[in-house]
Structure 1
Amino acid sequence: MPPIPLEVTGNTNEEPGPINPVVGIIYPPPEVRNIVDKTASFVARNGPEFEARIRQNELGNPKFNFLNTGDPYHAYYQHKVKEFKEGKGQEQSAALNQAISKLSVTPSAQQKQQEILKQVEQPFVPKDPPAEFEFIADPPSISALDLF
């Protein structure tokens, strides 16, 4: 029998991540999480036959390995399917979108970023030639066999 996941609320000072992370589930990186979440929502709406069809069509695609029971992200996938079936998945998506909108850059900050980038992108043009080498020595002639 698999362990029962416990809900833990996240700290607001930490990096943005899952809103209510569940203990015992490995959360995939964001690019994989998007695929898992979308697939879970479709499977929750269309049923396990749809999952079987995806598994068959994407047999060689490593992006869909989470459909296999041995994959570390399979538990997260099952958790998301359950959430979408219960109607909780949309609430978290809305809360996540709201949190992302709070992090958006204001136009004045964006303008400052552009000014800084323009300053950094200007090529460096030396005014004086480089100084002469202080020490110049020719390396001794050693054959490749002598190096071993």
Structure 2
Amino acid sequence: MLFLPIISFSQGLKGSYLLFIQLNKRITINLSKKHFSLEEACYIYVGSAFGAGGLKSRVSHHLLKEKTQRWHIDFLTTSPYSEIVGVVYFIDQKVECYLGKLFSSFSSLEPVFGFGNSDCKANCDSHLYKIVKSK
């Protein structure tokens, strides 16, 4: 089991976060209107937690393998082939879309177009990025 220092967070802390997710086998995520084919790779998911539960509640939810699937990312994190291998927090910072747009400009990160950004007001390409191995 991976230990992340989310336990020490107070319930009210809000902010943005990155999840580093290792996918150990190619999977397909079928949603009602979208289908995503994800290759075996490491991915970065950009999220935010400004609701009542804050970062502690949101990231704890992502760490569960068995849960109600509310968001696109839940369909990835519940896969038996995925593992969250790291988390970065941006406390009291609304940088989800800033990071999404920044990541889209990196040649080493490939956006999974339309994943996790259905409620995005900044027109991000994605909130999930595959880390591309350099040649």
- Where relative contact order (Cα < 8 A, 6+ residues apart) is larger, the structure is 2
Structure number with higher strand proportion = 2
TM-score when scaled to structure 2? 0.24
